[in-house]
Homo-oligomer: A and B are copies of this chain.
Amino acid sequence: MSKGPTIRDVAARAGTSTAVVSYVLNDGPRPVAPETRARVRAAIDALGYRPNRSARALRANRTGTLGLVVPDLAKPFFAELTRAIEDAAFARGHRLLVGSAQFDAGHEEQQLQALVDAHVDAVLLAPAHDPAAALELLRRAELPHVLVHRTVGAAPGVAGDDLDAGRRAAAHLSGHGYRRVAVLGAAEGDDPVGRRTRGALAGLAGPPDAVVECAFTDLRGDAYRAATRLLAGPVEAICATTDEHALGVIRAAAEAGRVLGTDLGLISVDGTELGAYLGLSAVTTPFAELGVAAVGAVLDGAPGRTVPMTLVTRSSCGCVAPDAERKRPGPRVPEEGRDASRVRRKEPRSLPPPGS
């Protein structure tokens, strides 16, 4: 019905040409006399004019839209990541097309192709698997892109410092005095879990009690089963390499009647808000910073980079009494160096004897 005013209407009302209106709108490429500019501005909001993005996209070859593909939007980590990226994009005046790949390589490729077809200005990809094919697709489309949460080779990427994060998580556990520590992750693999796992192995004060491999698509379930097995043994603490793994451990511990931070030390890497809520200590992803960096990488051509992650201690590792945590939201516990001296589990509660 009311088709909405076009740039011609604005030009007419301002007594000028569409070209000038365009110059005002885009602040270029030609200068406009202040007075003319004012008239145009007045006409614009007198008419309530909104530029037609489709027309602009066709002509200027820019859509003002970014595309993001994540392995699974419903997983807490990727949900938080997506929100951070959407926020960063919105702050830069861009919209975000989101695709969830359901951990399926074929679906991921379809989503990417859809983004290419949609003429997004750039693509952010959190790959579920080896992104080689995806990168090739993006490269052929000559689309600016950046990998998030997973980097590979020389492709631009923004991710946490996973190796360091794993190291610090494990070191923190060692700092508590836990000696029989198991690591849940994957020793191989050039992905976050692999890196964190290797970091954890390096960060432990002694040899690990066990290293358990968990597949990529059912982290929780694998971790749950692994933890259930481990809890039947002498394990004192578990270093999970993602909050998903940690969720599995939390469940297993609950079923085994072990209280986290008291009967079992647990720490992880990711730092989702959900884990936080469950009292999970974790080396935490700075989602907002990561989002800003990723958007900046594609929009400004800023180089990819690894963002530092920070240790946040809560009750699961034993740093804070489970019921005291919420009452003392004060200064966070210091870095690993001082952990052992600061909070040592009071009376290192006796762990269940093996086989009981």
Partner of A97 from the list B65, B73, B102, B278 (CB cut-off 8 Å) is B65
Binding site for B on A (CB under 8 A): 1-2, 50-55, 57-58, 63-65, 72-76, 79-80, 82-83, 86-87, 90, 95-100, 102, 110-111, 114-119, 142, 220, 224, 247, 251, 254-255, 273-274, 277-279, 322-323, 326
Query: Known: A247-B277, A326-B224. Is A54-B254 also a contact (CB below 8 A)?
Result: no
Q: Is the CB of B114 within 8 A of A90?
A: yes
Partner of A54 from the list B74, B82, B119, B279 (CB cut-off 8 Å) is B119
Residues of B within 8 A of A55 (CB): 58
State A193–B119 Cα separation when bound (angstroms): 40
Separation in Å of the A272 CB from the closest CB of chain B? 9
Q: Is the CB of B90 within 8 A of A79?
A: no
Q: Is the CB of A79 within 8 A of B74?
A: yes
Q: Is the CB of B73 within 8 A of A86?
A: yes
State A116–B254 Cα separation when bound (angstroms): 48
Q: Is the CB of B73 within 8 A of A76?
A: no
State A65–B118 Cα separation when bound (angstroms): 9
Residues of B within 8 A of A278 (CB): 251
State A73–B277 Cα separation when bound (angstroms): 17
Residues of B within 8 A of A58 (CB): 52, 54-55, 57-58
State A294–B83 Cα separation when bound (angstroms): 22
Partner of A255 from the list B63, B87, B117, B322 (CB cut-off 8 Å) is B322
Q: Is the CB of A277 within 8 A of B54?
A: no
State A79–B81 Cα separation when bound (angstroms): 11
Q: Is the CB of A98 within 8 A of B100?
A: no
Residues of B within 8 A of A87 (CB): 100, 102
Residues of B within 8 A of A90 (CB): 99, 110-111, 114
Q: Is the CB of A119 within 8 A of B323?
A: no
Q: Is the CB of A86 within 8 A of B100?
A: yes
Q: Is the CB of B98 within 8 A of A96?
A: yes
Separation in Å of the A122 CB from the closest CB of chain B? 15
Residues of B within 8 A of A116 (CB): 50
Residues of B within 8 A of A52 (CB): 58, 119
Separation in Å of the A153 CB from the closest CB of chain B? 23
Q: Is the CB of B65 within 8 A of A74?
A: no
Q: Is the CB of A83 within 8 A of B73?
A: yes
Q: Is the CB of B73 within 8 A of A63?
A: no
